Amino acid sequence: MLIRAKFRKEKRLRYISHLQLLDTLRRALRRAELPGKYSEGYNPTFNLSLSQPLPVGMPGGGEYLDLELTAEVRPEDFCRRLNDFLPRGIEILEGRLTDNKLKSLQAVVDRARYLLLPPLKDDSRAEAVLQDFRNKKEIIVVRKRRNKSDRRYDLREMVHKIETAADGRWSFLVSTGSRGNVRPEEIVKGLQQIDSEIGEQPLINFYREGLYVSRPPKLLTPLADEIMEGE
């Protein structure tokens, strides 16, 4: 039995790292006395896995966790009980149980939607800049890699949807995960090629609205029926 749950990590808690988040969730599960399954071996810990890490400082509204269970819990109870034992800033939003064999979150998730605070002083140019972005055949950006040579890649083909959100933020649906990954700062590099007035954007101007699974023509969440049925 496995529970997959959606959660958000926001406010001050955006400053804790991926590993710290894992520890925080594990301890909260213990405090909540939820029936998580432990790994075998010298240091038994919960079989808990998370979706792609958020950069430290960036809040996320649609993150996911998978936890193996030793007993059934109603998803509503799981969320409510775990929330009672989590620090403010992390909140479990919904969950689903399954006995099916699921691909891991990091294997199945391949899209992320980032919202960026309007980076231009004159927001009336927003639509023009985004239209330019859409029209480009190719946007080459350079990725710095630690202990490795720089890599050049085409950003354009990994940005799948560009729009402005209702609140005016710029929204980018991009590839994420092992089959192609766009870093938020590379979106900014691409925008700067279109409009040189766009300055550096600190991480905290971004919000990762959600993580998704692409099943063209559909865009699914990891909790969608098609995904939870297993492979």
Q: Which residues contact other proteins (rule: CB under 8 A)?
A: 12-13, 15-17, 19-20, 23-24, 26-31, 38, 42-45, 56-57, 85-89, 202-204
* Minimal distance, residue 12 CB to other proteins, in Å: 4
How many angstroms separate the CA atoms of 34 and 206, rounded? 33
For 163, counting Cβ atoms within 10 Å of its Cβ (0-12 exposed, 13-18 middle, 19+ buried), the class is middle
Nearer Cβ to other proteins (56/142): 56
CB 192 to other proteins: min, Å: 20
Q: By C-beta, is 87 or 168 nearer to other proteins?
A: 87
CB of residue 225 to other proteins, shortest distance in Å: 33
Beta carbon nearer to other proteins, 20 or 104: 20
**Of 125 and 183, CB closest to other proteins:** 183
Structure letter (DSSP) for residue 123: G
Tell me the closest approach of the beta carbon of residue 203 to other proteins, in angstroms.
5
- CA-CA distance, 35 to 31, in Å (whole number)? 11
The C-alpha atoms of residue 195 and residue 121 are separated, in whole angstroms, by 12
- Secondary structure class of 61 (helix, strand, coil): strand
Q: Toward other proteins, which CB reaches closer, 193 or 205?
A: 205
Minimum Å gap between C-beta 180 and other proteins is: 25
Residues contacting residue 113 through CB under 8 Å, at least 6 positions apart: 62, 161, 171, 172, 173, 174, 208, 209, 210, 212
Q: Which helix (H) or strand (E) holds 192?
A: helix 184-194
How many C-beta atoms surround the C-beta of residue 150 within 10 A? 8
Smallest separation, CB 38 to other proteins (Å): 6
> Which CB sits closer to other proteins, 57 or 193?
57
Residue 171 contacts residue 184 (beta carbons within 8 Å): no
